[in-house]
Structure 1
């Protein structure tokens, strides 16, 4: 996904722990962007809407649980 706009509506992920490992999710046209709250200017990862839905589903079903 090519990022042609700045993400808007940044919010802290409800799956982030309260003290560490926090990420924020922002909206972009056709998808979402994710950044580290400890380094907001350090870059971000983007996903189109299909990729984002698959990622969220995998999180909710425990696919990434250790």
Structure 2
């Protein structure tokens, strides 16, 4: 699957992912259930890959 984004759309997605990843890290740290923590970490890895793709395509707005 491919997703086409405008520069503005990529910026909004990037910002939302960064905010969510921050919250997700907190949730991972507070989770005691091993399997649930494992699922959260997989989700985190997937979302970080998306952020990396945004940066790779020169659409990152992180300063």
Asked if these proteins are the same fold (TM beyond 0.5), I'd say no
Q: Which has the higher helix share?
A: 2
TM-score norm. by structure 2 comes to 0.31
Q: Which has the higher contact order (CA 8 A, sep 6+)?
A: 2
